[in-house]
Structure formats: C-alpha cells, structure tokens
Structure 1
Amino acid sequence: MKIVFAFALLAIVMALVFAGRAMLQDGRDGKAKSNSMVNALAWRVGLSIALFLFILLSYKMGWIHPTGVPLK
C-alpha cells in the first residue's frame, strides 16, 4: 500500500513540476501562450482528490489502519 501512495505522491509532484516548467516557458520568444500549465494543474488537483478518496476507501475497506498514536 505504501508503494501505491508513494507513486501517487510522485505523480502529483511531477504534475506540479510540469506546471512550473510550462509557466516559465509559455509566451517566450513571441510564441503564443498555451494551456499546458492549466492542464498540468488540473491533473495535479485531480490526482490529489483521487489520492484522498483512495485513502478514505482504503481505511473503510480495512486495507490501512491508524498508527495508534494518541490524539491528546
């Protein structure tokens, strides 16, 4: 399960890197701006929501358990 979470977090970070790269390169040298940054950020948000829902589903299905750390 940790590998799935790590892969999802890596995908989210990669989408953020692609958005940053698009932000820095769009509109340079007289080129028109593209929607690549918006698309990358949309992917990042979608992946983040999917990861959150997957964590909730995993907890409900009993695939993951709390660590037992007291909440005092």
Structure 2
Amino acid sequence: MKILGFILCVLMNLFLMFLVFFLEFLLVIKFSIIVKPYLQFILIFMMIVFAVLVGYFVSIFIVRSLLIKLFELDQ
C-alpha cells in the first residue's frame, strides 16, 4: 500500500504543478507581460520553479495526509 500512496502523491504533485503553471501562464497573458526574449526565458523558468515548489509542498502536507486518512495507508 505504500507504493500506491507514493504513486498517488506523485500524480497529485504533477497535477498541481501543471495547474499552478497554467494559472501563472494565464496571469502573464492577461497582463500582457511581453518583454525581451531573455526576460521571457527568466520569467518562464521562475514560473516552472514556483509551480514545482507549490505542487511539492501542497502534495506533501495536504494530499499525503488525506490519502493516509482515506485509504488507511501505513504511515
């Protein structure tokens, strides 16, 4: 069951990462932050890093505890 919990946490992490990145991308498009190409690269890189960090921490603290409660996984 630990493997199932790990796989579910990884999938939730990927989902949250892509969701945060998509929301950041929409925010950038809405405000028309179109600048020089090297600044766009830095902006996209920072968006990816932020999305990974948010997805990672949310999956660790919230999703993992919910999975343990819902599926009664071994801790």
Taking structure 2 as the reference length, what is the TM-score of the superposition?
0.44
- The structure with more helix, counted as a fraction of residues: 2
Taking structure 1 as the reference length, what is the TM-score of the superposition?
0.46
